[in-house]
Amino acid sequence: MQAYVEYLREARGLTEATVINYTPFVRSFLEDCFGNGRVALSRLCASDVLRFVRLQAPRLHPKSAKLMTSALRSFLRYVSFRGDVALDLAASVPVVPNWSMPAIPRAITPDQTRQLLASINRRSAVGRRDYAILLLLARLGLRSGEVALLELEDIDWTEGSLTVRSNSGVFNELPLLKDVGRAIAAFLRHGRPPSTCRQVFLRSKAPITRFRGASAVGSVVRHSIQRAGIDSPTMGAHQFRHGLASEMLFRGASLGEIGELLGHRHPQTTKIYTKVDIKALRMLVVPWPGGER
């Protein structure tokens, strides 16, 4: 294992995260094949690889299962390169299925969104801040990280537009809807504490500084939902993004329009929302034989 780790770092130049992710899977594979005995790599065969993958894959999340098979292929190529095995066992590692769009997005309903927004106390500074944050999530479908990164210069009050930046540095320009603009303006005038930070939204407790990341926005969402007593699909911020897309689809928006608003770089990402148009799907259902059921 030490020699393999050195190979990954020095010969392959892989990141430390990749090394850390690969190592447990390879160690488990060797323990499964040899137990506490001597590791004799020359005795490995394809059936050992298949048995291990078939045993482990059902227990893992699909992404972890794919990571496991990548780790095994990497290790088996390494031992083949060293001459420890005669066969190309990397080719015997099976492919783990990764079904496209396996789940329906968990979206908050329009009624729940209205109930949540109505529950915010906008007479307080924190309430004005949280209300503006929730509107950005619900009306424009921003990601929590995009809300945290929003700076004062990103708002063009004259043109009525908002420049949104992602963690990867991609920019997307969106219309600044009237209710969203009014909420942000109310917070800036009567809620945002004096600060040299250029981020729009700041912490409410000392030290008064910018949000440290998406988790801070997620915390605002979670606490707001809990205070309102709403039984929403999740406690996270992404459900508003799903809710907006689902509502747009229901009202006749195209997938292209939805993808443009949400800043999707690939059309495949937007296609997942076709699963939530239950009304349209019901029109395709074949009637139950013998009458209604």
The DSSP element (H or E) to which 174 belongs, if any, is strand 171-175
The residue assigned the tokens 């137990």 is 35
Identical fold at 2-92 and 110-237? no
25 CA to centre of own chain:
24
pLDDT at 284 over 50: no
Among candidate residues 124, 136, 237, the one with its CA nearest the CA of residue 180: 136
CA gap 198, 214 in Å, rounded? 17
Cα angle 196, 199, 203; round to 5: 85
Antiparallel, parallel or unpaired: β 155-156 and 171-175 = unpaired
Q: Which of the four pLDDT bands, split at 50, 70 and 90, describes residue 132? A: very high
Domain ranges of the chain: 2-92, 110-237
Tell which CATH classification among 1.10.150, 3.30.70, 1.10.3470, 1.20.81 matches the domain 2-92. 1.10.150
Are 69 and 38 contacting, i.e. CB atoms less than 8 angstroms apart?
no
Q: What integer pLDDT is reported at residue 269 of this predicted model?
A: 60
Q: What integer pLDDT is reported at residue 281 of this predicted model?
A: 46
Q: Note the pTM of the prediction, 2 decimals.
A: 0.60
Q: What integer pLDDT is reported at residue 225 of this predicted model?
A: 96
pLDDT at 293 over 50: no
The amino acid sitting at 184 is: I
The amino acid sitting at 194 is: P
Q: Which one-letter DSSP state was computed for residue 159? A: T
In this predicted model, which residue has the larger pLDDT, 292 or 150?
150
Q: What integer pLDDT is reported at residue 167 of this predicted model?
A: 62
| Dihedral, CA of residue 38, residue 39, residue 43 and residue 48, to nearest 10 | 120
Are 68 and 60 contacting, i.e. CB atoms less than 8 angstroms apart?
yes
| Dihedral, CA of residue 122, residue 128, residue 130 and residue 133, to nearest 10 | 130
Question: What CATH number does the domain located at 110-237 have?
Answer: 1.10.443.10
Q: What integer pLDDT is reported at residue 181 of this predicted model?
A: 96
Q: What are residue 36's phi and psi, to 5 degrees?
A: -95, 5
* pLDDT single digits (tens) 245-276: 888 877 777 777 777 777 766 665 656 665 55
**Range 123-144 average pLDDT:** 95
* pLDDT single digits (tens) 179-224: 999 999 999 999 999 999 999 999 988 888 998 888 899 999 999 9
CA gap 136, 133 in Å, rounded? 5
